[in-house]
A and B are shown apart, each in its own frame.
Chain A
Amino acid sequence: MRNRLKVLRAERNWSQADLADKLDVSRQSVNAIETGKYDPSLPLAFKIAKVFALPIEQIFSDDELAQAAE
């Protein structure tokens, strides 16, 4: 699973700790999601989408689909 969390966070000038606080998770969780070490659950993915006010598919994308598109 790919995600644009780091880019979106940078656009808003948020630190990982800022985003973690908004999502009610630890900073390590945000870091793990950003680096692709951990795929969030559906409820957390929805929460992330709400925080960024974007649809989920604009934040997360499937690896295979993304590679095919490239």
Chain B
Amino acid sequence: MRTRLKPIADEQAPGSARAAAFLWFIAIGVAATAGITIAAMFYALSGRDARSLGLLATFAGVAVSVAVAMAPAFAKQQPSASAAPVPASSRRAASVSLLSVWLALYVLAISNMHRLLDIAAWPFWAGLAAAIGATLSICGLAFALLRYLTHETDEYQRLLLMRAALIAAALTFVTLTAWGLLELYVSAPHLPVALALAPFCLFFAITNWWVRGRT
């Protein structure tokens, strides 16, 4: 076995090229699903009312803000005498957290779209196709995120990510169970099961930072 010693370069974390590729893959997937959703909204709502503009503006705003926030995270870092470089792990944590928040917002948006599009009035097959289509986009994003988690080449960073995901999953179970009991015992407002991914993503965005802060 031969060890290859690389010359000392910048602060770019090892394996980050592959990780960044996965994140870009996720980002493209998010942009594609958002684009398809917006196009579908335009098609479905053409000639109806202006409510679509509100949701469209929300989508566009979130997409632009995420793109702007992610751009410096992947921009090649230039040596600067005035500013200390941001560690690669921090940039990576910021990217993962932002993507998690974006995914949570996306889940919230598609969970409320039935009200805007009046999907209940659609034919059964059309409603089924809409549900499967939205689920597939979530599956794709979840798969891409999972691939990123499992393909992280730095074993310690991978451990931190897995730990954050595990804590987020535990918090999600606790929260949803508690809310379910509140629904049963004190008639709390009903929380659709379709929203389950949203709290996980929000918790993951937080635990991702919390776990790193503790190390």
Are A and B interaction partners?
Answer: yes
Q: Does A28 contact B (CB under 8 A)?
A: yes
- The answer to whether the Cβ of A4 comes within 8 Å of any Cβ in the partner chain is no
Question: CB-CB < 8 A to B155: which residues of A?
Answer: 25, 29, 40-41, 44
Q: Is A61 an interface residue (CB 8 A)?
A: no
Size bracket of the A interface = 20 to 34
Q: Which of B11-19, B33-41, B51-59, B172-180 contacts A (4 or more CB under 8 A)?
A: B11-19
From residue B212, how far is it (CB to closest CB) to chain A in Å? 8
Contacts of B89 in A (CB 8 A): 26-28
Size of chain B's interface in residues, with CB distance under 8 A? 22
Q: Is B3 part of the binding interface, using a Cβ–Cβ cutoff of 8 Å?
A: yes
Kindly report which residue of chain B lies nearest to residue A22, judged by CB atoms.
Answer: B5
Nearest B-chain residue to A41, judged by Cβ: B155
**CB neighbors of A among B131-188 (8 A):** 153-157, 159
B9 interfacial contact with A, CB 8 Å: yes
User: Which residues of B lie under 8 Å from residue A38 when comparing CB positions?
Assistant: 156, 159
Closest to B214 in A: A37
Q: Which chain A residues in 1-47 approach chain B with CB under 8 Å?
A: 17-18, 20-29, 32-33, 37-38, 40-41, 44, 46-47
Nearest-CB distance from A60 to chain B (Å)? 15
B interface list, Cβ under 8 A from A? 1, 3, 5-9, 11, 13-15, 87-89, 153-157, 159, 212, 215
